[in-house]
A and B are shown apart, each in its own frame.
Chain A
Amino acid sequence: MEGLLFNVNNGYIEGIVRGYRNGLLTGTNYANMTQCETIDDLKLQLGPAYGDFLASLPPNPSTSSLAAKATDKLVSEFRYVRANAVGSLARFMDYVTYGYMIDNVALLITGTLHERDTRELLERCHPLGWFETMPVLCVATNIEELYNSVLIETPLAPYFKGSLSHQDLDELNIEIVRNTLYKNYLEDFYRFVNSHPDMAGTPTAEVMSELLEFEADRRAINITLNSFGTELSKADRKKLYPNFGRLYPEGTLMLSRADDFEGVRLAVEGVADYKAFFDAAGLGGGPAGPGNLAGGAGPEGRSLEDMFYQKEMEIAKSAFTRQFTYAIVYAWVKLREQEIRNITWIAECIAQKQKERINNYISVF
């Protein structure tokens, strides 16, 4: 049924995005890239995919400028798609940008808190999270003004309202603010894809639920693991877990009580995928080093984060097997982001002449 009218509004977009997906680098490309000796070689290898954007780079560019140019490409493509999107797809794509917006707002809050000139920060903001009224936020000189203008001017208002007051911005660690916002965002996004009449019950809802649930679980696990040894209390930690996902509610409850790596492992026992990750990570890095890229440097000793990324990419890849869904846009953005990370990593390894770990990239095509 959903296929009947999908193409009226969204057929073009789907076609474009599928085209973009085909432009993603494949395993062969990556294999070629890892053979490069200099950044210039790498640039040459990236030519077919990123030619126009890399053309303006000077010879032997820095990795960060390479990554910036690669991001530029993603941004310009995303903007093109967004400009052509209508109706619920347009809203869906706005939702995709909210995640980046949260990062930008968090950046501005940090700047305001430390009484920096926030205008300088605008350049550092992620272009995908750019919204028209963002420069307005820079007018605010104290936290209260900023809070009010965020509430009025940004689409993030619902995420602030109810869970954060302007005192919280002052007192709480910015990371807690960010993660609270992100939690609210994920929950809202989840609700949106499952309740909007255009999406509920369609493949979009299905695929997006899977992706968002995975994202929620990953955040919950990461927050737990990263909070060991910090002043984040268990009660505060619990507030940062999104209220959905495959771990919710039993797993998250157990996560909120976990004291160490072992506790986290027990909490995720119920989900076979995560259990497998933890078993592998437990063997590779040991309890001391979950997410340890450096510790288990062997080919099998992949870190937890690596495996999460791998899993995310696989889910995103499988999203393209479905027809008539908005989820491919989200999946494409995620895949592209991973690709940029891969390029940065490979470029970094080449620049630092540390080729032994160059194969740490994640390629799913």
Chain B
Amino acid sequence: MSGAGDREAVFPTRQSLGVMKAKLKGAETGHSLLKRKSEALTKRFREITRRIDEAKRKMGRVMQIASLSLAEVTYAVGGNIGYQIQESAKSARFRIRARQENVSGVLLPAFEAYLTEGNNDFAMTGLGKGGQQVQRCRETYARAVEALVELASLQTAFVILDEVIKVVNRRVNAIEHVIIPRTENTIKYINSELDELDREEFYRLKKVASKKQRDTAATDAEVKSKKDRLAALEEETGSNGPADLLAAEEDEDVIF
């Protein structure tokens, strides 16, 4: 029977059949839309993965150069200048701005780094010796931080996209494997129920018709037998009752 599969609890009526058919159509449209979204996101996701790989490699290189330049500073200045640097830095020179990027309806944060102009808090550090190295080290680290910012925005996008893709895929699968089969089942069930009803109806009608026929036949037979009886009676009366003038048998011709 069609009700074996999972189906929705509806009364098998023509109206709910219409509702179900609309639902199925909606589910199919939704499925194809979500499928496309998921594909778009996956495409983006792959791209981001590739860029993360690149950014990480770049970061490795840049950080290596940066830490070597820090070693250079230590060498040139001949001591630890960390404290001076920390204390003389007043406001951030390297800042980031957060933007939002829309990928198929998913808002991805993107960080954008920029340098504030004319902000050189420790330009004088290492004035006596090693100033050049300090400045260069700062530039190198600015580049390193840039790479980090890029990586950070990619990583955030990666996490968010991952989540969204999972949700979308879950929906696609839910629609594909649960909602559509269930709706189809329901439709099938409703159809079969309706057919059943139809058949019953038909049978009933046939039954009624045949009954009617039989009744008619009976009535006919009765009428006929009544008539027959009447005719027989008539015959009886004609032979020994008053003669019918009109219905007389041939009169003998009168000859004058």
Contacts and interface: CB of A to CB of B under 8 A. Distances in A.
Interface stretch (A34-42, A134-142, A290-298): A290-298
Nearest to B83: A124
Given A110-B87, A222-B127, A354 B79 contact: no
A293 B76 contact: yes
Contacts, number: 108
Contacts of A349: 68, 71
B213 interface: no
Interface stretch (B13-21, B95-103, B130-138, B171-179): B130-138
A352 B68 contact: yes
A182 B128 CA distance: 9
A40 to B, nearest CB: 19
B202 interface: no
Interface string A102-116: 010011001101101
Contacts of A121: 83
A219 interface: yes
A307 interface: no
Given A175-B124, A223-B127, A305-B76, A291 B132 contact: yes
A352 B67 contact: yes
* Most chain A beta carbons < 10 A, residue from B64, B88, B123, B128: B128
A126 B136 CA distance: 25
B166 interface: no
A17 to B, nearest CB: 21
B34 to A, nearest CB: 49
A222 B78 contact: no
Task: Kindly state the interface size class of chain B when it binds its partner.
Answer: 20 to 34
B74 interface: yes
B80 A124 contact: yes
Nearest to A176: B124
Contacts of A107: 83-84
B129 A348 contact: no
Contact of B131 (A114, A176, A225, A354): A225
B69 interface: yes
Nearest to B134: A226
Contacts of A219: 128-129
A178 interface: yes
Interface string B52-76: 0000000000001001110110111
Contacts of B69: 294
Given A63-B71, A291-B133, A341-B74, 6 more contacts: A64-B80, A219-B128, A226-B124, A226-B126, A226-B131, A354-B64
Interface of B: 64, 67-69, 71-72, 74-76, 78-80, 83-84, 87-88, 120, 123-133, 136
Interface of A: 63-64, 67, 103, 106-107, 110-111, 113-114, 116, 121, 124, 126, 173-176, 178-179, 182, 218-219, 222-223, 225-227, 229-232, 240, 289-294, 303, 305, 337, 341, 344-345, 348-349, 352, 354, 357, 360
21 contacts: A63-B71, A67-B74, A110-B87, A110-B88, A111-B83, A175-B126, A179-B127, A182-B128, A219-B129, A222-B129, A222-B131, A225-B131, A230-B124, A232-B124, A293-B75, A344-B75, A348-B74, A348-B75, A349-B71, A352-B67, A360-B75
